[in-house]
Structure 1
Amino acid sequence: MKKIVFCFLGLLAVLYTASAQSYTFNHGPYLQELSEHAVTFVFTTSDKGFSWVEVKPDGGEAERHYTVRNGLRDAYNTFNVIRVENLRPDTRYQYRLCSKQIADFQPYKVTFGDSIVSPWRRFSTPDPKATACSFIALSDMHQQPDKLGRLLNQAGVGSADMIFYVGDMMNYYDNEETPFRSFIDKSVELFASEKPFVLVRGNHETRGNMAREYARYVPKSSGKYYGAYRVGDIMFIVFDCGEDKPDDFWVYAGLTDFDGYRTEQAAWFGELIRSKAYKSAKWRIVMNHFPPLSHMESDNPERHGIQDITDKFLPLYNQAKIDLMISGHTHAYEFMSPDKYDRLTFPVIVNSTESVARIDIDGRTLKAKVTDTGGNTLKEFTISK
């Protein structure tokens, strides 16, 4: 009898181990850089493998898409970033992930293990003639995914077209699981497999011994965190504010040059606002983790980054006919308006750690509503053109 029990327990242990080690998609998929003609899929597998994405328009035939670098398809990896181009504007697509585990990779022989396929999911490319767009913006969640989920649901994430994370979604980055646990997994659970989030890097995302690898989670064709995105007749401008203290502050150990980086972005923005694409946009929305003005004392080292933004960007902001800016960083909600701040020509929503902004644009009308975690309305206003 004892032998039977031991054999049964041994079999259970084997089955449990096999189950625990089964090959799976363990993070994602989530969409990045969705445009009229392209989209990027990001996902991970539990072991090294060979992965691809199958994409088809509704009612059409599926095509396989791989990431190819210098003639080699990505393989023997767990982190997958696959860009699909030549899509049609304003079109509904379906996609699924496919992967084969690589059990052994020798110079002249590759041995495959399990094969896995995800369910079909959907996404739609934007309409270049769209005059309406709804988006949500929040920041400073600092690794609190449950609160993130509550705020997203409160703001109606199901009916939003885009979600902007305006910085400091993590405390720092020193583990490859941190971005997933902090906000990406929750985003996938709620929306990110079918519509994109746009990450606006905050000062906390520049911290930690893996911060220089953060870009792979939010891949950009330009290779830059900052940039401009046109959705119909709406232009979104995203800045990357850098750290809040001076570059020579002791804690940075001489490893940063954010003053130079902000100068680079100011020069870029100066060119952008003279472009036809910018001038022809009906609405211009700016996202920057730092607000454009600081309330801190002049000798506070944490004022430096915001003051650099004020000095280098504010004159450009005031020339650029911005309709709305959304920021964070201070952990205190504020609505900065030209009526209150004579140095501003545009309104600024400064989200706190407990607030979320929902913006609905339809033709010549922009409606904004900011609420807190208790469901209380902090600010509601309309801009008409």
Structure 2
Amino acid sequence: MQQDKPSLDRRGFLGNLTKAGILGAIGLTPAARLAAAATEEEALAVEKAFTEGEHTFLCPPYLQSPEPTGMTVMWMSNRPTYSWVEYGETAALGKTVHNVQGGIVDSYDRLHRIRLGNLKPGTTYHYKVFSKEITEFRPYKLTYGETISSGTFTFTTPAKNPKEVSWLVFNDIHDRGALSFPHLMALNKDPYDFVFLNGDMFDYQEDEQQILDHLLTPLGKTFASEKPFLFTRGNHETRGKYRRELASYFDGPYIFTKQWGPVHFTVLDTGEDKEDTHPVYAGIVDFDEYRRQQAEDLKQIVQSPAFKKAKFRVVMMHIPHYYSGDWHGTMECRKLFAPVFEQAKVDLFIAGHTHRPGIHQPVAGQHSYPIVIGGGPKDGNRTIIKVKATEKDLNLVMIKDDGSELGRVDLKSKRG
């Protein structure tokens, strides 16, 4: 999906960048925007990259940060725009919202992030996204161009105090999203509230087009315009020249906690699997300290009232601290996190990374909770993990990409 290169090559700045690469750099990072306008000729080339071709969306809208009273809608356009969402409880919509920061409405952006607030819990909403092209943006003159709009989608906010929650887990897709997401999702016939992406969606991050082609577009086409997804990194998301920009495409951090009905979720970012001093990292990573900081935060999380009162305590992270060899990342996670998991009486742990799907029941002296590890990217090894929890029961099933059941976990709540 690469497009033709702009013709300008002054000072070598544009070099061999594709148009998609230029748009990615300009649309996201201020430093890249400044660099792009280093000369008048380069600025003109940037404008040409924006204006060539039809004004269009680069991916379908996708839902983030679900809450009983709020939902974030994100999408991308190929030109800088002023964008908004129209929504309502019927297909007639009726309400309009844009994003405002410090009194300034977000505009002249290509990556759009709009929060719908003051929603009703447990309510279905209809919505459409709109992007109005800005063809000229001068200090005292702004000129609009064409407005494009999406079709109408729906989503349902979580209930205020739901009695149950259901979710799906994907991991280790490794740049095969266009094939794997629709195939695996078709294996699920049950209702679900959200999807969790448990790392290694990519082999590494090279540019924006990769994120669009291999993640955002296939997710939007498969489910993400009507069901939200949550995301944490795997070790492969820490690699490549575009790795820092990746976080911009999601509404939330890689590390977080979330209470949804009877389940308290703790999501950690396990970082890389090799030593920080390994030559491949060239001295520009510090994951050991990053994990140590998370371990300190984890000690506070498990003391929180939400964690203690939850009917089920679920941890999800990419690298499992058992059953993934003795690589440095695994052993650091075991040393730092495993004692806290044991003391806090975690009920269920879900990971990926190994490409060896399996369900490992509790082992005395190691882990007192099931460890579930999803499969890998190749045909015959791909998995979808389905979980449903009520106030009394939690049931997990892992399905292989041929539709067969690989294993199950059935738990009773230990907290009345």
TM-score higher than 0.5: yes
- The equivalent of 1:139 in structure 2 is 171
- The equivalent of 2:257 in structure 1 is 228
2:227 to 189, 195, 211: 195
1:294 Cα deviation from its structure 2 partner: 4.5
CA separation in 2, counterparts of 1:118 and 1:243?
Answer: 38
- The equivalent of 1:11 in structure 2 is none
CA separation in 1, counterparts of 2:404 and 2:365?
Answer: 29
**Pairing 1:376–2:399 present:** no
SS of 2:208's partner is coil
1:116 to 145, 148, 172: 148
- The equivalent of 1:182 in structure 2 is 214
Report the AA paired with residue 268 of structure 1. D
1:363 Cα deviation from its structure 2 partner: 3.1
1:151 Cα deviation from its structure 2 partner: 1.3
- The equivalent of 2:328 in structure 1 is 304
Equivalent pair of 1:294/1:307 in contact (CA under 8 Å): no
CA separation in 2, counterparts of 1:37 and 1:254?
Answer: 44
- The equivalent of 2:39 in structure 1 is none
SS of 2:67's partner is coil
1:233 Cα deviation from its structure 2 partner: 2.1
**Pairing 1:280–2:294 present:** no
SS of 1:29's partner is strand
Equivalent pair of 1:247/1:258 in contact (CA under 8 Å): yes
CA separation in 1, counterparts of 2:93 and 2:407?
Answer: 47
What is the CA deviation profile of residues 258-317 of structure 1, one whole-angstrom value per residue up to 9, with x for unaligned ones? 111111111111101111111111112111101122453x5xxxx111111000000001
2:183 to 150, 163, 167: 150
Equivalent pair of 2:91/2:126 in contact (CA under 8 Å): no
- The equivalent of 2:358 in structure 1 is 334
- The equivalent of 1:344 in structure 2 is 367
Report the AA paired with residue 185 of structure 2. L
SS of 2:66's partner is coil
2:129 to 84, 97, 100: 97
Change (3 A) 1:63 1:203: same
**Percent of aligned positions with the same letter in both sequences?**
33
CA separation in 1, counterparts of 2:81 and 2:324?
Answer: 51
CA separation in 1, counterparts of 2:302 and 2:101?
Answer: 34
CA separation in 2, counterparts of 1:264 and 1:36?
Answer: 30
CA separation in 2, counterparts of 1:212 and 1:328?
Answer: 22
- The equivalent of 2:287 in structure 1 is 258
Equivalent pair of 1:128/1:231 in contact (CA under 8 Å): no
Report the AA paired with residue 348 of structure 1. I
* CA RMSD in angstroms, aligned pairs only: 1.8
- The equivalent of 1:12 in structure 2 is none
CA separation in 1, counterparts of 2:170 and 2:344?
Answer: 23
1:194 Cα deviation from its structure 2 partner: 1.0
Report the AA paired with residue 321 of structure 1. K
Moved runs in structure 1, 4+ residues, more than 6 A? none
Equivalent pair of 1:155/1:357 in contact (CA under 8 Å): no
1:128 Cα deviation from its structure 2 partner: 2.4
- The equivalent of 2:198 in structure 1 is 166
CA separation in 2, counterparts of 1:104 and 1:169?
Answer: 37
1:361 to 366, 389, 393: 389
Per the normalisation by structure 2, the TM-score is: 0.82
What is the CA deviation profile of residues 70-98 of structure 1, one whole-angstrom value per residue up to 9, with x for unaligned ones? 22211112111112222222222121111
Gaps of 5+ in 1: 1-19
Equivalent pair of 2:393/2:411 in contact (CA under 8 Å): yes
Equivalent pair of 2:93/2:127 in contact (CA under 8 Å): no
- The equivalent of 1:237 in structure 2 is 266
1:119 Cα deviation from its structure 2 partner: 2.1
CA separation in 1, counterparts of 2:180 and 2:225?
Answer: 20
Gaps of 5+ in 2: 1-51, 377-381
SS of 2:132's partner is strand
Report the AA paired with residue 393 of structure 2. T
Number of equivalent positions:
357
CA separation in 1, counterparts of 2:181 and 2:87?
Answer: 30
